Structure 1
Amino acid sequence: MSTTITHELRHTVTAGWLLRLSGNKSPRRNHWQTKIIYFRAAAELLVTRPGAPLTWKSIVAAARPHGCRSTFYEVAGSHARHRMVDDLIADGRPDSVQLALRYLRTDPVEQLLDETKVWSYWPHRQQLLAYYAAHDLPPAAMATALTDTVATWGRQNEALAAAVSHTPPAGAVEDLTILHQGRLAAVRAAAQLSDVLRHSSGAR
């Protein structure tokens, strides 16, 4: 069972989205690298300017080596290219569509933060998958390890984790639904992991 689940985890929609974009090594028009510029800017602003409104203008101003309105809206907003939610919708399976609806935003900054969380969480997820591969765990133990990993990420990235009402990384939510093998809806999985992030930061 754990081998089958591990295979599913390595081929999630979120994983496919991230690996497809990050796998582009072309130095010209590398959309993933453009996204990372804005991911870093948003994450840094949350830390360095706590409580200050996060806007597209402040993110563009903080983007290095340079940001501009046009590239910001290439990576965030309803007309952005290669949105994570579009891959989830295109997948078409009920869990994927439900997850997409949970993360479908009208605010481009919130959409950027959702993707920033996935990018920031990804190294933790890779370590978790390596742990799964090294240990033959039942699904319940795998779910506990995932919850612990999300909590650790939240403690290490407190400002980002708290953004958008402690919304968890979409990749972690998708993974948790897989570990529960159809017995946990994406909306409930997201709510559970939001509670984990609130608890890890001491928020009420």
Structure 2
Amino acid sequence: MTMGARTETVAELDGTAVGGWVRRLAGNTAPRRNHWHTRQIYYRAAEALLDAPAELTWKSIVEQAGPRGSRSTFYEVAGGHARHRMVDDLIGDGRPGVIEIALRYLRTDPVVQLLDETKVWSFWDIRQEAMRQLSDRMPVDEMERVLTASVAGWARLRPALARAGGCTPPACAVEDLTVLHRGHLSGTEALARLTEVVRAA
């Protein structure tokens, strides 16, 4: 791989579909209708129930969310008609590889959908630190080791969340891994590879 190709790969990691979703929602500082703030209430509630452990249903999540929790806001965050779903950004990206990832994270169960987003939310700072470790001079296999180490580290820090949903990894890590391989690793293969990383952590 040429230096230019490596540079392009690192730059592309800054423009992923999931990355755009996080930045768009987390970057909203408006006090009213702050969807990221509302989502975080439910992400924290879901993870708290997993850590307990306790039954995970929309009702238990709403109850765990406290005064800010309600059926209506839960379904604004999760479910087929939820607003600002992560999976919609993956679908909207339009590139075949990204759409393949979207199909793997397209859920009929709103609780599972919430868990997918909770995993990204909880992993994001670790992901960003891993991205800062990448260098234009690093070969792809070394970049992949940095990424997989970050996923394994996250799984050890958040074991209950990481194991939920069959050890599904954060969708952003799956997308990142396909970007590193520049079309030579499918979304399905990346998902399977990182699922094993989570399972082994």
**TM-score normalized by the length of structure 2:** 0.95
Q: Which residue does 1:191 correspond to in 2?
A: 192
| Residue 92 of structure 1, CA deviation | 1.0
Q: Which residue does 2:182 correspond to in 1?
A: 181
| Residue 2 of structure 1, CA deviation | 2.6
Aligned counterpart for 1:131 among listed residues 130, 133, 142: 133
Q: Which residue does 1:149 correspond to in 2?
A: 150
Distance 1:64 1:132 in 2: 40
Q: How many residues align?
A: 197
Aligned counterpart for 1:105 among listed residues 89, 104, 107: 107
Q: Which amino acid aligns with 1:112?
A: L
Say if 2:49 and 2:55, in contact at 8 Å, map to a contact too.
no
Unaligned runs of 5+ in 1: none
> Equivalent residue of 2:103, what SS?
helix
Q: Which amino acid aligns with 1:188?
A: E
Distance 2:56 2:175 in 1: 27
Q: For residues 67-146 of structure 1, what are the structure 2 equivalents within 5 Å?
A: 67-133=69-135, 136-146=137-147
Aligned counterpart for 1:54 among listed residues 53, 56, 63: 56
| Residue 137 of structure 1, CA deviation | 1.1
| Residue 65 of structure 1, CA deviation | 4.5
Unaligned runs of 5+ in 2: none
Distance 2:66 2:124 in 1: 22
Q: Which residue does 1:35 correspond to in 2?
A: 39
Distance 1:139 1:178 in 2: 10
| Residue 105 of structure 1, CA deviation | 0.2
Q: Which residue does 1:9 correspond to in 2?
A: 13
Distance 1:119 1:136 in 2: 29
> Equivalent residue of 1:63, what SS?
helix
Give a deviation string over 1:172-192, Cα, whole Å, max 9, x none. Answer: 000000111111110110011
Say if 2:80 and 2:108, in contact at 8 Å, map to a contact too.
yes
Q: Which amino acid aligns with 1:43?
A: E
Q: Which residue does 1:44 correspond to in 2?
A: 48
Q: Which amino acid aligns with 2:167?
A: H
> Equivalent residue of 2:55, what SS?
coil
Distance 1:65 1:143 in 2: 42
**TM-score normalized by the length of structure 1:** 0.94
Say if 2:178 and 2:184, in contact at 8 Å, map to a contact too.
yes
> Equivalent residue of 1:96, what SS?
helix
The alignment status of 1:19 with 2:23, answered yes or no, reads: yes
Give a deviation string over 1:161-181, Cα, whole Å, max 9, x none. Answer: 000000000000000001111
CA RMSD of aligned residues (A): 1.0
Distance 2:152 2:30 in 1: 35
